[in-house]
Chain A
Amino acid sequence: MMTQGSLRIGRFSVLLHRRGIVVAGVLLALVFAIAILAVQLGRYPMALPQILATLSGGGDAIAEMIVLDNRLPRILTAIGAGAAFGFAGAMFQTMLRNPLASPDVIGFSAGASCGALMGMMAFGSTFVLPGALIGGLLTAFAVLALSWHRGIQPYRLILIGIGASLTLSALADLMMSRLDMLTAAEMAKWLVGTLNARNWTDVIMIWIGLLILVPIALWLQFALSRLAMEDDIATGLGVALSPARLAVTVTGVALVALAVSVVGPLPFVAFISGPIARRLVKGARPALLAAATVGALITLLADTAARAMPVVQLPAGVFTAVIGAPVLMWLLVVQFNKGKI
């Protein structure tokens, strides 16, 4: 049974893993289907024909506002941000050879939270986002610099990342306790990640970012699959460890920064996409595309759930775990029953 084939054009060839492609395809189709569903749901449910009419120019002003200004950008942002988180999470987990790894391990989330709070406390709510980005990037850079020892050593990076992450999380908690109730509540919502009030600028930003970074990530998948092996073996196979790790780290951080800049530090997506994808795709491969589609799906579902919930307005960040965790749990059970570990 052929599980993999290749595409050869002249001297160039690309490996095609059949199961990986099928999984990514199915998930993509799911994303599309849910998107169509999502556009209809919300506080003002709309039927599909009405939506199509609005898209093609007809339809009243309210429908236009809902579909074009509100839902469509939000859905597209969710898909894009989820994909970015998925990519980044899978990349870090593969590179660091640790299923618990995520971009958080390099302190990005904690740094972003701190930066956001500092921005809020010092300059007001317009500086929440820039503060978050600066905080996150600075922290990632600091962790890299502090752990640099003749290149990137995964274990060292993880330990220093933990130290930085925990310290900054604690600092963030400290700052939160200093805020007044109202601001604290507002910040609490942002810190959980939200897709409220996304507009077309967000959509353009995330998708252009993906356009640039995704090819790089896929290019790096080749090196990444070798980095997953022990250092000695990877070196023996001719992989230059540190440059490869640095490239993966930088790309991963860029993807996370991109995603955080549009949806805030949405929890859990980056962490869970990789493990789910790898269990769907099977075999030991980074499965970046599958992880991205899983991430997009979870984020889209989370946002849709947040919007469609009657009565109460909960941020999407609450739903990412509620949706993602059971999927992983189910996959673990299924594999258990099949006798796999």
Chain B
Amino acid sequence: MHTQTKPIAIVNVMDNRLFALGLVVLGLALLSVLALRFGLRSMGFTDIWASFVAFDPLNASHIVVQEIRLPRLVAAVLAGASLGMAGALMQGMTRNPLADPGLLGVNAGASLGVVICIMLLGVTNPASFIWVALGGGFLASLIVFFLGGAGRGSPARLILAGAAVSALFLAISRGLLLISQQTLDVYRFWVLGGFDGAQFSTIIALAPFFGIGALLAGLATFSLNALILGQDTAKGLGIRVGLAQLLVGLAIVVLCAATVAMAGPIAFVGLIVPHLARWIAGPDMRWMVGFSACLGACLLVAADLLGRLAIFGGNMQAGVMAALIGGPVLIWLVRRHGVHKL
């Protein structure tokens, strides 16, 4: 119980998590406006405003805003929030700071699914990848679930199972891609994806999954708070432990699957965001998940925005930018404010 912690300065300064959350949401709003404003095509705020209230189908700027940047923004917010929440849940469930939600096999399964789909079925239409990715992700996590003890194993066992399955599927994908150049050519764009070419049709198709995922996450958070106190205490509080763990796992899988289906595999975010959120959120899982969602959205919107700027060549993978931002921030936070264990 005696960890070497230093005062959580951010909370001390703000003294109110709600206030901090408000600030983060405000930041998100600000970033969103910036995301609409900046990009390869320059335009003013009036153009953006006009495209919402008085859309002119012949105005190129309006089209860019409504059909390119807005879906992109929405996708980034959805992906960031989902990955953030999934990451927070994953860390809460496994109590392991190295546990990334991708460890449940979703990303690896989705990637392999897409690769096989391209190679064996000759599918090249990115739109159909959505369902393959979803299916592959779910299938892989099912395997991980059973290997991990079908709800009765320890978290350590689950993450080992996940790591093994993920590594296996990724290696097979990589192998297949090295064999077939044509597959690589098609796959390359999907895996690099990010939010390039994000479309509302895709987002709407996946919206139910995001919705269900968020709902599950909310339910899961409640039980997770009790689980963190230890299995016996949780049982004493009326929580059915096996069911709770299943719920948490399901929430993570749905959120990750929806994200990977929409925007390809995005690495790093699910791992980094919960660590960043911890300093503000404290040990309460509800705040953790809430802050992770908002911070995740902020991070990915900012990352996507930066990636689109001309400086970086106009198109850089959002996950990569997120890590470039988040990594140094994490290091700075640890050095400045000490370690706050799960």
Contact = CB atoms under 8 A, between A and B. Distances in A.
A contacting B, Cβ–Cβ less than 8 Å: yes
Interface of B: 3-4, 96-99, 147-149, 153-154, 156-157, 159-161, 163-165, 167-168, 170-172, 174-175, 178-179, 267-268, 271-272, 275, 313, 316-317, 319-324, 326-331, 334-335, 338-339, 341
A100 B320 contact: no
B179 A321 contact: no
Contacts of A167: 323-324, 327-328, 331
Contacts of B322: 170
Contact of B161 (A169, A324, A332): A332
Contacts of B267: 169
A101 B161 CA distance: 14
Nearest to A101: B98
Given A166-B323, A170-B324, A341-B154, A159 B171 contact: no
A177 interface: yes
Contacts of A170: 268, 319-324, 327
A275 B159 CA distance: 12
A70 interface: no
Given A167-B328, A192-B174, A328-B164, A336 B153 contact: yes
Given A100-B159, A155-B97, A332-B161, A321 B327 contact: no
A318 B323 contact: no
A165 B172 CA distance: 24
A98 B324 contact: no
10 contacts: A98-B96, A158-B98, A159-B334, A162-B275, A162-B330, A167-B323, A173-B320, A322-B175, A332-B157, A341-B154
B98 A341 contact: no
A90 interface: no
Contacts of B172: 322
Interface centre among A162, A165, A171, A326 (most CB of B within 10 A): A162
Interface stretch (A73-81, A111-119, A146-154): A146-154
A328 B334 contact: no
A21 interface: no
Nearest to A173: B320
Nearest to B144: A329
The majority secondary structure among interface residues of chain A is: helix
Given A159-B334, A163-B327, A332 B160 contact: yes
A164 interface: yes
Interface of A: 98-101, 105, 146-147, 149-150, 153, 155-156, 158-160, 162-171, 173-174, 177, 192, 267-268, 271-272, 275, 312, 314-315, 318-322, 324-326, 328-329, 332-333, 336, 341
A146 B335 contact: yes
Contacts of B313: 177
B305 to A, nearest CB: 16
A155 B326 CA distance: 18
Contacts of A321: 167-168, 170-171
Nearest to A341: B154
Nearest to B172: A322
B165 A325 contact: yes
A205 B179 CA distance: 32
A173 to B, nearest CB: 5
Given A99-B160, A155-B341, A160-B330, 16 more contacts: A98-B96, A98-B98, A99-B159, A100-B99, A105-B98, A155-B97, A163-B272, A163-B329, A170-B321, A271-B163, A312-B179, A322-B175, A326-B164, A332-B147, A341-B149, A341-B157
B178 A318 contact: yes
Contacts of A275: 160
Contact of A325 (B153, B167, B331, B339): B167
A332 B98 CA distance: 20
B271 A174 contact: no
Contacts of B4: 149-150, 153
B164 A322 contact: no
Nearest to A168: B327
A108 to B, nearest CB: 15
A155 B3 CA distance: 10
A319 B171 CA distance: 7
Contacts of A315: 178
A230 B242 CA distance: 28
